[in-house]
Amino acid sequence: MAEIRLDKLRKEFGKLVAVRDVTLTFPTGTVNCLLGPSGCGKTTLMRMIAGLETPTAGEVYFAGERVTHLSPSQRNIGMVFQYPVVYRGMSVYRNIEIPLIEIKDLSPQERKRRIESVLETLDLAKFAKQDVSDLDNGTRQKVSVARAVARQPKIILFDEPVTNVDIGSKTQLKRALKQLVKQHNQTIIYVTHDQTEAMTLADTILLMLDGEIVQTGAPRELYDSPRDRFAGFFFGNPGMNFIPCPVEQHNGSSTLGKPLFAQPMRVTGLTGQPEVTIGIRPERVRVLTETAANTVPATILREAMVAGGQRLLTLKVGATTLKAKVPPTDTFRAGNTVHVECPVEHVVLFGSDERRLEAALQA
C-alpha cells in the first residue's frame, strides 16, 4: 500500500524550471526507473518525493495521503544517494543498526536477523566489524543500500546509486538490488542516466527530458515504439537511425522509396506529409553479402567492435549514412560493398515535429 502519486509537481530554481508540472502514479510494488540525460530534472523530482526539496507547486501523495508538507523523516522512506553516504567512524554493522534502533516495535532478535540477512545478500558479512571509513566507495555504497533496505520502508528511492562505484561493485550491486527490491513489495523509484541499468531493473521506465516525462512504459515498449525521436535516440546503444525520406505517390497510394528501399513501399495512415523520417534501430538493420528481395547496395565506411563482441558498421546508402549492428563475422570490412535490408516491421516513422506518426509501412 505504497502507491506514489504526483499531482502537477513543479520545481523552479530562479528562472530555471527543473520539473514541469509532472503528474503520474507509481503503483505499489513496482520498480520504476526515471531515465534521462543529465540535468533533465530527474534527481530534483526524486528529491521532491523524498521531501528534501520543497516543490514550487503541486502535491505528492503516498497511498492516497498528502505528504507534500511532511519532512523526509515523517514520510518514512528509504533513500540511497549518488555518492555513498555512510556514518563515518563506526562499523558496517553499526551503520545498518543505527536507523533500526529507532523502530520502536522491532525486537533485538529481529533487528539482528534483518542486519545479518541484508549483510548476506549484499556480500558484506566479511566487512561487518570493519570501520566504514576503511572501505572503498563500492563497498560503502553497498553499506548505504543495506542501511536503506534493512529498515524495510514501503518506498525506497535510489539516486543513481551505481554511478560512482567501480565496475566490479556495480554488477554486484545491481544483482543485489534486483534480489532485494522484490522481497517486500516495496515501491521503488530508481534514477539513472544509464539505459542498460534501466532496462535490466525496471518494470516501468519513465523517460524524462527538460523537466517533463516524455514517455512511460515497459522497457520493451519504449524500445520498440518510441514516442518521439528523443526516445528513439536516447534509448539504444547506439541510438536509432533517422533517415529523411520523401513521400511519393504511386498508383494512387503514398509510398516510400529511396534511399532505403529498392521498390516503393506502400505507407498507410499518412495525413499528407511531403516527407517523413524513417527510424530504425541499428540491430534491426540486416546486412547481407548477396542481393535479395528489397535490398539496397551500400558501402561500409567504418567498422568497430562493440559490447558483446558485435560489430558496428557505418554504411553509406545513397547519400546518407546508416549504422548497423551485426554479429561478429569477418566478411564485413571497411570498403566492402554489401546489401542492406530494413525490415518494414521494425521501421518507425516520425513527422517533422519529431513525434511518431500513426502510420505503417506495408511490404
Partner 1 sequence: MSLETLSPSSGHQETLPELRTNSFRRALARISHLTDDARIFPTLILLPVMFFFIVWNVIPTLWMIGLSFYRYSLMLGNEQFLGTNNYMSIMTDSQVWEALSRTFIWVGAGVAIQTILGLLLGFLFWGSRDMPGRRLALTLLFTPMVLTPVAVGVFFRLLYEPTFGIVNYLTTTVLGVQVNPLNDRAIAFGAVLLVDTWMWTPFMILITLAALGSVPKAELEAAEIDRIPWLKRLRYIIWPNAKFILMLGILLRTIDSFKTLDLVYLMTNGGPGNTTDLIALLLRRKAFEAFDLGWSSAMAILLLLTAIAFTSIYLYILNLNRRRQEAIV
Of 105 and 353, CB closest to partner 1: 105
Instruction: Give the residues across from 340 on adjacent strands.
Output: 287, 296
**Least CB distance from residue 149 to partner 1, whole Å?**
12
How far apart CA 349 and CA 328 sit, in angstroms, is 29
β pairing state of 275-280 and 286-288: unpaired
Of 9 and 150, CB closest to partner 1: 150
99 binds partner 1 (CB under 8 A): yes
**Least CB distance from residue 147 to partner 1, whole Å?**
7
297 binds partner 1 (CB under 8 A): no
In this chain, which of 12, 28, 59, 87 binds partner 1, going by CB under 8 A?
87
- Estimate the crossing angle of helix 137-150 against helix 92-101, to 10 degrees: 20
Task: Report which of 20, 33, 354 is spatially closest to residue 188, judged by C-alpha positions.
Answer: 33
88 binds partner 1 (CB under 8 A): yes
In this chain, which of 29, 72, 259, 264 binds partner 1, going by CB under 8 A?
72
251 binds partner 1 (CB under 8 A): no
Q: Which residues contact 206 (CB under 8 A, 6 or more apart)?
A: 24, 32, 33, 34, 35, 213, 215, 216
Of 95 and 295, CB closest to partner 1: 95
Using left for φ > 0, alpha for ψ between -120 and 50, and beta otherwise, residue 309 falls in left
β pairing state of 296-305 and 311-317: antiparallel
How far apart CA 199 and CA 195 sit, in angstroms, is 6
**Least CB distance from residue 239 to partner 1, whole Å?**
33
85 binds partner 1 (CB under 8 A): yes
Of 81 and 230, CB closest to partner 1: 81
Of 58 and 99, CB closest to partner 1: 99
Of 50 and 347, CB closest to partner 1: 50
How far apart CA 267 and CA 269 sit, in angstroms, is 7
In this chain, which of 36, 55, 78, 138 binds partner 1, going by CB under 8 A?
78
Of 140 and 281, CB closest to partner 1: 140
Instruction: Give the residues across from 326 on adjacent strands.
Output: 311
**Least CB distance from residue 6 to partner 1, whole Å?**
19
Of 148 and 300, CB closest to partner 1: 148
**Least CB distance from residue 99 to partner 1, whole Å?**
4
Residue 74 CB coordination number (10 Å): 10
In this chain, which of 83, 164, 212, 257 binds partner 1, going by CB under 8 A?
83
Q: What is the total count of residues that contact partner 1 (CB under 8 A)?
A: 26
Q: Which of the ranges 94-102, 113-121, 199-207, 334-342 carries the binding residues for partner 1, by CB under 8 A?
A: 94-102
Q: Which residues contact 337 (CB under 8 A, 6 or more apart)?
A: 297, 298, 299, 300
Of 68 and 310, CB closest to partner 1: 68
Q: List phi, psi (to 5°) of 223.
A: -70, -45
CB burial string 5-36: b at 16+ within 10 A, e below: bbbebbbeeeeebbbebbeeebeebbbbbbbb
In this chain, which of 33, 77, 213, 267 binds partner 1, going by CB under 8 A?
77
User: How far apart, in Å, are the Cα atoms of 227 and each of 53, 235, 247?
Assistant: 30, 11, 21
Site string for partner 1, 24-63 (x = CB under 8 A): --------------------------x-x-----------
Site string for partner 1, 121-160 (x = CB under 8 A): ----------x-xx---------x--xx--x---------
Task: Report which of 123, 184, 113 is spatially closest to residue 149, judged by C-alpha positions.
Answer: 184
The string of DSSP codes covering 98-147 is HHHHT-TT--HHHHHHHHHHHHHHTT-GGGTTSBGGGS-HHHHHHHHHHH
Q: Contact residues for partner 1 (CB under 8 A)?
A: 50, 52, 71-73, 76-79, 81, 83, 85, 87-90, 98-99, 102, 131, 133-134, 144, 147-148, 151
